């Protein structure tokens, strides 16, 4: 396959960026999108040019690092996959592909396609955990019965990989889908009840402080989320938030 890549290049956080065009040849449909980017980078290095910086780690849809906006969609044109799971067979010979970083005030660009998502870490630090006694008399998790439906919903929420595609797809750059998945995961389980009130208040406060926008229920986040995290989680978080405010 022969392709034309139009890639956002930006030397650093304070530099001005621009789209640069790169023709590329001999791309196999079975390659992943990141493997295609590797081929380009090898060529750039051979020519003495700077390779395109992009985030990646697991390359199997688990770590959430591979944040790329491809042809105007977070993680590209496929559904339910991350950029590292996207295959080049989704494109046609002769295609032009636009590749950009996530665009959100709370995700400043570090270089090229790499953005700083530490705002997500700070939201997690604010309350995305449970406190457990690990002094030697810890209760076995299996000793606490949990209704199957709740366990399934908690598991589904826990599949959020923190990639940030929800923020990148949202016209308001809202982080509600991410935060609500993390709140729901714990709110649905007995182990999460002790700190439930503080958790939701602190995580929402941290989200607002980081400069993420408001949710206006457009639903783009749910469509582009590679893990199919449901908008139901946002409704649950809103209920948890109201409950916590009333009990305040
Ligand atoms: S909710 Fe979906 S899109 Fe948002 S961070 Fe989690 S996995 Fe990524
Ligand atoms: S590199 Fe880990 S999810 Fe894509």
Tens of pLDDT, residue by residue over 162-204, are 999 999 999 999 999 999 999 999 999 999 999 999 999 999 9
| Smallest-distance ligand from the CA of 223 | 1
**Contact yes or no for 76/90 (Cβ under 8 A):** yes
Q: Whose CA is nearest to atom 6 of ligand 1?
A: 160
The CA distance from 33 to 55, in Å, is: 13
From the list 117, 142, 123, the residue with the least C-alpha distance to 181 is 123
Average pLDDT in the chain: 96
Residue 193: strand, helix, or coil: coil
What are the two backbone dihedrals, phi and then psi, of residue 69, each rounded to the nearest 5 degrees?
Answer: -100, 110
Pocket of ligand 2 (CB under 6 A): 56-59, 61-66, 82-84
Pick from 32, 36, 38, 63 the residue to mutate for probing ligand 2's pocket: most ligand atoms within 8 Å of its CB. Answer: 63
**Ligand 1 pocket: which residues have CB below 6 Å?**
160-166, 177-178, 181, 225-227, 229
- Could you please state the CATH topology (level 3) that the domain comprising 3-110 is classified under: Ubiquitin-like (UB roll) (3.10.20)
Going from N- to C-terminal start, the domains of the chain cover 3-110, 118-247
What pLDDT shows up at residue 136? Answer: 79
Alpha helix (H) ranges present in 70-188? Answer: 118-127, 148-158, 165-169, 176-187
Residue 248 has what pLDDT? 67
CA 137, 141, 143, 146 dihedral sign is: positive
How high is the pLDDT of residue 227? 98
For 118-247, the fitting CATH number among 1.10.1060.10, 3.90.650.10, 3.50.50.60, 3.40.630.40 is 1.10.1060.10
Q: Look at ligand 1, atom 5, and give the residue with the nearest C-alpha.
A: 162
In this predicted structure, the answer to whether residue 19 has a pLDDT above a threshold of 80 is yes
- The residues pairing with 75 across neighbouring beta strands, listed in sequence order, are none
Distance from Cα 50 to the centre of ligand 2, integer Å: 23
């Amino acid at each position: 396959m022969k392709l034309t890549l139009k890639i956002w290049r930006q030397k650093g956080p304070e530099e001005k960026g621009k789209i640069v065009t790169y023709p590329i040849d001999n791309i196999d449909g079975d390659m992943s999108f990141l493997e295609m980017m590797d081929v380009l980078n090898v060529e750039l290095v051979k020519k003495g040019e700077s390779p395109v910086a992009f985030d990646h780690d697991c390359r199997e849809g688990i770590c959430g690092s591979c944040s790329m906006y491809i042809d105007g969609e977070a993680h590209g044109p496929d559904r339910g996959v991350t950029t590292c799971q996207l295959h080049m067979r989704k494109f046609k010979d002769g295609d032009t592909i636009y590749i950009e970083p996530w665009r959100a005030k709370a995700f400043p660009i570090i270089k090229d396609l790499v953005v700083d998502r530490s705002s997500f870490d700070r939201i997690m630090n604010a309350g995305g955990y449970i406190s457990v006694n690990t002094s030697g008399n810890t209760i076995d998790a299996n000793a606490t019965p949990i209704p199957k439906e709740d366990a399934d919903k908690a598991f589904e929420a826990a599949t959020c990989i923190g990639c940030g595609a929800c923020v990148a797809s949202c016209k308001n750059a809202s982080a509600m889908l991410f935060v609500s998945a993390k709140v729901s995961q714990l709110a649905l389980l007995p182990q999460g009840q002790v700190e439930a009130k503080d958790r939701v208040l602190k995580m929402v406060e941290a989200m607002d402080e980081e400069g993420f926008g408001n949710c206006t229920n457009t639903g783009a986040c749910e469509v582009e989320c590679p893990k199919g995290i449901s908008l139901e989680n946002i409704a649950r978080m809103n209920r948890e938030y109201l409950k916590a405010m009333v009990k305040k």
